[in-house]
Structure 1
């Protein structure tokens, strides 16, 4: 199992660090990044001549065949000589350092279409006009996250997501329906658990790390207000959601320890839990184990104002604003990630299980054309959420600690989160600069 794409999706405050997007990198998703101190290079394209030379960076995807595919894509571009650089190790750190030099990559991947630092420092070319009317072809939740101050700095490549797995036969045997609210999930998990199979599993920390931010979205709120000046979730609905999960955890319905972590399908496949929070990347292994006896759902609505929610992550193809061949780089990005739909489907469908970034291409992905895969793809469009671009690490760390203290240690949520009001305000003021 690989996690490089999934790191974008790690939930919780920061979000929980190891998890959901960067589905394609380290084979051990919890391991510290290792590898070469500088990017490995792989030459592709035609011999250098009169055509412009471009350099394109990717992080190291774990799925077999991705490297060869992107090299082939680059070689098929006739308007420039494109050199693909495959970047093992801590991609984000290596990229950040390279963008401060005179030799910036012309085209490169960036999580969620670029960070606030990259945008504010002028490292990313504005691609708003490049995507133009094609913006409406892409998943609306992804494009919302890729848009900052009405500008777009990255073109979505593919989507990864988290979701809840269950087995319909177990629910039928217990006489319960597929839950649509958190209260129904609690009842269903407790109804289907047995002496050998637990009810609900979301990680060996009781699910706190991966589910933390979901409690905001599922209770009906956003992380920040529209002006990004303060928190938008510090209210009784959110506090009640935390208490509801704490009660669920204490009821015995939540599996606190399993043979593997939430991002692995093993606990579910081994029937250690009837419901498991996991990633779309686990769907092939789960369907291999149980065939048609597999169902998927979003995290259910929590409370009267709640809504279903799933987190997603997407890498975006960005153009260096200070590159030597900006216009040629933009032409290449348009060609590959807007025009070449066959390659976009291949990139999402042939190497692991991912969702094409364009809505119309989802049905062309064989793993998503029907059944649970098709349902999962709809969840992102209807109920997809991602960390706000200004949800900083400092905010996330404090948020995670407060969630843990409420659920694990029984702290009063209103009192525990009171200090976050001023912290979030001050952090946002700094970020607005």
Structure 2
């Protein structure tokens, strides 16, 4: 969730993956194939088929792709039998540099500034837009108002306060904080770095965490683990609010998608926060992500596919809002639509929408799989094993610098 996929599989493996073909569109024009990953929210598949049927300039055939969608798509883009239009998760660097996707700058240009800029950024390369964000997903900190009041603590506004508050809230029955069953290794990623005023990759395309503040921030995450303030071994992981709702933890890091269930179970006995800032140069941080709609460079109907993408994700504002809020709980990728959505105008939902706009950060375009793996491995050693944050990050900086050099070489070619 909110993380990029990638990799290739053999053609035989792709053929073995099942798919459900949606009914065609209502148009009499050329046939266009459109791929979606398998959403878990009921009604989503029917909705995208309905959108396709409403398009009159082409016969849009929806394919619902269960299984490892990212690997299926990566393999299909190398063949002539792949989709014309498809969803892509996270940064698009590999597809862009591989010449696998079409430039969609002209299609989005008129409304480019209306999109959440944090989720649009990983779709931009060399000032061109290669994918159009569909909806925004985000993560944030949930806290139980009654438990914090009982312990005499306020909602944490800084990372130091988060460490102290989680410790005070921990008891035999309830832990102070749940960051996932691995202690936050899998979900936090670069969020603590952004909270310290840093980033994974800076605006100049260089390593954004070659700074002592990075080690200090990650050291505080380790302190949460060392203090035994973190819930570990919960029945479900961080993306599910069950541990929070059942009172196993007083605070939990989870996604916006969890909000309706929490509201139903707890009423008004909860609040939400961005990840707290760290240090004088820090600021609150909120990870955001978005599947984007892209057009395959191998499509034989590029112009028709581009026209359909523009129609659905730029012109049809009603479908965009329906897709975001009628099947699950997401934020429309368009800022103007998010502001108008009634479901997002009050309480925790309104707070979450504001956090995503003001503090949102997405995984950067240049953050490669190798860079991600190196950082995640170091984060695991820091949090779980108590490894020295400074030395671990120095090693990661070297690896990421090497990755960035490779990216530049591919660009030069």
**Which TM-score tier does this pair reach, normalised by the shorter chain?**
over 0.9
Match of 2:55 among 66, 73, 77: 77
Tell me if structure 1 keeps the 8 A contact 2:382–2:389: yes
CA distance in 1, matches of 2:378, 2:25: 51
Match of 1:129 in 2: 106
Q: Counterpart of 2:41?
A: 63
SS at match of 2:288: strand
Q: Please tell me whether residue 213 in structure 1 is matched to residue 190 in structure 2.
A: yes
Change (3 A) 1:382 1:34: farther
251-260 or 322-331, which deviates more: 251-260
Q: Map Cα deviations across residues 352-409 of structure 1 (whole Å, 9 max, x no partner).
A: 1111111121244443231111111111111111211221121122212212222222
1:24 is aligned to none
Q: Which of structure 1's runs of 4+ aligned residues deviate more than 6 A?
A: none
Query: CA separation in 2, counterparts of 1:67 and 1:195?
Result: 44
- Of 191, 202, 205, the residue aligned with 1:225 is 202
Is residue 215–residue 390 contact of structure 2 (8 Å, CA) maintained in 1?
A: yes
- The number of equivalent residue pairs is 403
Take 1:376 and 1:185, find their aligned partners in 2: how far apart are those partners?
19
Deviations 1:322-345 (A, max 9, x none): 312211211111111111111111
The question of whether the paired residues in 2 share the 8 Å contact of 1:44 and 1:72 is answered with no
**How far off is 1:172 after superposition?**
2.3
Distance 1:374 1:35, change over 3 A: farther
Following TM superposition, by how much is the alpha carbon of 1:277 offset from its aligned partner in structure 2, in angstroms? 0.5
Q: Establish whether residue 367 from structure 1 lines up as the match of residue 343 from structure 2.
A: yes
Contact persistence 1:145–1:388 (CA under 8 A)? yes
Corresponding position of 2:95: 118
Q: Which residue of 1 aligns with 2:10?
A: none
Equivalence map 1:34-433=2 (5 Å): 37-46=17-26, 49=28, 51-112=29-90, 115-228=92-205, 230-432=206-408, 433=410
**Residues 268 and 276 of structure 1 are in contact (CA less than 8 Å); yes or no, is this contact kept in structure 2?**
yes
Deviates more, 1:170-179 or 1:284-293: 170-179
Shift of 1:299: 0.6
Between the aligned partners of 1:36 and 1:161, the Cα distance in structure 2 is: 33
Show structure 1 runs of 5+ residues with no match: 1-5, 18-32
The answer as to whether partners of 1:345 and 1:364 remain within 8 angstroms in 2 is no
- Counterparts of 1:331 and 1:212 in 2: how far apart (Å)? 36
Q: Distance in 1 between matches of 2:394 and 2:287?
A: 26
1:162 and 1:97 mapped to 2: Cα distance? 30
Equivalent residue for 1:30? none
Residues in 2 aligned to 1:293 and 1:90: alpha-carbon distance in whole angstroms: 38
C-alpha RMSD over aligned residues: 2.1
Question: With structure 1 as the length reference, what TM-score do the two structures score?
Answer: 0.88
State the alpha-carbon separation in 2 of the partners of residues 283 and 303 from structure 1.
29
Greater shift in the superposed pair: 88-97 or 188-197: 188-197
Distance 2:379 2:392 in 1: 8
- Give how far 1:279 is off: 1.0
Q: Does structure 2 conserve the Cα–Cα contact (< 8 Å) formed by 1:299 and 1:310?
A: yes
Partner SS state of residue 263, structure 2:
helix
Q: Residues 88 and 168 from structure 1, CA distance in 2 versus in 1: closer, same or farther, beyond 3 angstroms?
A: same
**Stretch moving more, 94-103 or 310-319:** 94-103
1:38 is displaced (CA, Å) by 4.6
